Amino acid sequence: MNREHLEKAMRTLDRISEVMAKDGSLSEDLKNDIQETLLALAEEHLIEEVGDFSMEEVDLETGLDLILAAFKLADQRSEDRADRVKIHLEIGDTLNNMGRWREAQAYYELASKAAEESGHQYDLGRTLHRIGRLTRRQGRWHQARQALNRAVKIFKSLDRTIDEAETLLHIGNIEFKQGAYDQVTRR
C-alpha cells in the first residue's frame, strides 16, 4: 500500500474514532476526509470502486467499516512487517478508543506477533505498552502488569527513557488502584 495513502487512512481513522468516542456528529470536513480516504483506498484496490458513492449515504460506522476492511486487506498483502505492526496498532487503538476492547486486544496481539517475528524491539515494546493499558482499563491487573513489565525491560534496554517512564506510570497506577501504596513510592 502506498505509504501516503496508508498515513492518510490512519489519520482519518483517528479522526473517526475521536468523533465516535465524543459526540458522533459528522462534520463537513470529516465527510470530505472520509471521501478522499475511501477514494485513495479504492485506487489501491483495497475497497470496491466507489463510483457514484454519495457521502450522504455514509455514516461514521460505514466509513469506519470500509477503512478497517481496507486495512485488513492491506495487512494480508503487505510483506513489510513494520507496516503490518503499524496497521495493527492503528486499528487496535481505534477499537480501544471506541470501547471495542476484545477486538482491540486481537489487533494488539497481531501487532505483537508481527513485531516479535521481525525482531523490532521498539515496536514490540510499544505493542506491549498498549496491551498493558488496555488490560489495565479492563481491570485485568495481572495481565496488564505482565505486559507493562515486559515493555519496561525493552524500553530500558533500548534507552528509551520517556517510553519507560510512561510505562512505569501505568504500573504505578495499577499498584495505586490495588492499594499497594508502598510499591508506588518505591519505584
Domain boundary among 46, 61, 77: 77
Kindly state whether residues 94 and 53 are assigned to the same domain: no
Per-residue pLDDT at 110 exceeds 50: yes
| pLDDT attached to residue 77 | 73
Residues 90 and 169 in one domain: yes
Domain final residue pick, 25, 43, 77? 77
- Which contiguous run of DSSP H or E holds residue 178? none
Give mean pLDDT, residues 148-170: 96
Res. 150: pLDDT tops 50 = yes
Domain boundary among 77, 108, 136: 77
Give me the residue label for grid cell 457521502: 55
Task: Give the C-alpha distances (Å, rounded to integers) separating 182 from 30, 37, 75, 178, 179.
Answer: 47, 50, 44, 11, 9
Q: Residues 53-65: what's their mean pLDDT?
A: 64
Position 156 pLDDT exceeds 90: yes
Q: What angle do CA 18, 80, 104 make, to 5 degrees?
A: 35
Verdict on whether the full-model pTM lies above 0.95: no
- The four Cα atoms 157, 82, 71, 103 give a dihedral, to 10 degrees, of -20
Please indicate, yes or no, whether residues 118 and 145 belong to a single structural domain of this protein. Answer: yes
12 shares its domain with 104: no
Q: Which contiguous run of DSSP H or E holds residue 48?
A: none
**89 has a pLDDT exceeding 80:** yes
Task: Spell out the alpha helix ranges (H) of the chain.
Answer: 3-22, 28-43, 60-77, 81-97, 101-118, 121-137, 141-157, 161-177, 181-186
Q: Whole-angstrom Cα distance, residue 162 to residue 128? A: 15
Question: Is a pLDDT exceeding 80 seen at residue 16?
Answer: no
Q: How far is CA 174 from CA 27, 45, 54, 141, in A?
A: 38, 44, 47, 7
- Residue 76: the pLDDT is 73
Based on the domain organization, do 136 and 150 belong to the same domain? yes
CA distances from residue 111 to 16, 37, 105, 142, 179 in whole angstroms, order as listed:
21, 23, 10, 21, 32
Residues 60 and 102 both lie in one domain? no
Average pLDDT over residues 8-17: 77
In this model, does residue 29 exceed pLDDT 90?
no
User: CATH number, domain at 117?
Assistant: 1.25.40.10
Q: Are residues 54 and 131 in the same domain?
A: no
Neighbour-count burial of 16, counting CB atoms closer than 10 A to its CB (0-12 exposed, 13-18 middle, 19+ buried): buried
> What's the domain count of the chain?
2
pLDDT averaged over every residue in the chain: 81
pLDDT-based confidence at 115, cuts 50/70/90?
very high
Domain of 184, in residue numbers: 80-187
Residue 138 shares a structural domain with residue 178: yes
Q: Are residues 67 and 13 in the same domain?
A: yes
- Shared domain check, 65 and 96: no
Q: What integer is the mean pLDDT of 47-61?
A: 57
Indicate if the pLDDT at residue 112 is higher than 90.
Answer: yes
**Same domain as 90, residue 73:** no
Question: How many other β-carbons are positioned within 10 Å of the β-carbon of residue 181?
Answer: 10
Asked if residue 72 and residue 85 are part of one domain, the reply reads no
